[in-house]
């Protein structure tokens, strides 16, 4: 299965995934990101990990495949940290599926529990 998994992001972020059998695509600019993303779609990868920074370059491409079953595109933080794009994308998909933003409720409950217990 790992030969069906690709990771698009900065060289520093993706390089550690090649020993796991994940095809790493280091990209730095928007044109390169779009070209490699299209290549990954044509190669029929089942799963694409895309860093948040690269996802910003691929907004139109991500919208165009959002209703396809493959590839599953997972937007993840890079070595620079998170911007919340992956969670926001997941929250939107869950809200469309169940009709409510259940992830925000779980976050609030977790934060309230942490505040109550002093964690």
Instruction: Give per-residue pLDDT as tens, 100-117.
Output: 776 675 554 454 454 455
pLDDT of residue 104: 74
* The pair of three-digit structure tokens given for residue 27, joined into one six-digit string: 């990209």
Within 8 A by CB and 6+ apart from 15, the residues are 24, 26
Q: Which long-range contacts (CB under 8 A, 24 or more apart) does 24-32 make?
A: 27/54, 29/57, 30/57
Establish how many alpha carbons lie within 13 A of residue 53's alpha carbon, considering only the half-sphere containing its beta carbon: 16
- Say if CB 55 and CB 87 are below 8 A apart: no
**Each residue's pLDDT tens digit, 62-83:** 888 877 878 888 888 877 766 6
pTM assigned to the model: 0.69
Give tens-digit pLDDT for 18-56: 898 899 999 989 999 999 999 999 998 998 999 999 999
């Amino acid at each position: 299965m790992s030969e069906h998994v690709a990771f698009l992001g900065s060289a520093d972020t993706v390089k550690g995934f090649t020993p796991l059998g994940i095809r790493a695509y280091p990209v730095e600019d928007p044109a390169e990101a779009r070209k490699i993303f299209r290549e990954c779609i044509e190669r029929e990868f089942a799963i694409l990990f895309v860093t948040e920074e690269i996802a910003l370059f691929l907004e139109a491409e991500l919208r165009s495949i959002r209703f396809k079953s493959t590839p599953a595109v997972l937007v993840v933080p890079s070595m620079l940290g998170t911007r919340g794009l992956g969670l926001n994308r997941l929250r939107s998909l869950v809200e469309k599926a169940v009709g409510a933003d259940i992830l925000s409720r779980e976050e609030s409950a977790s934060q309230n529990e942490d505040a109550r217990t002093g964690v």
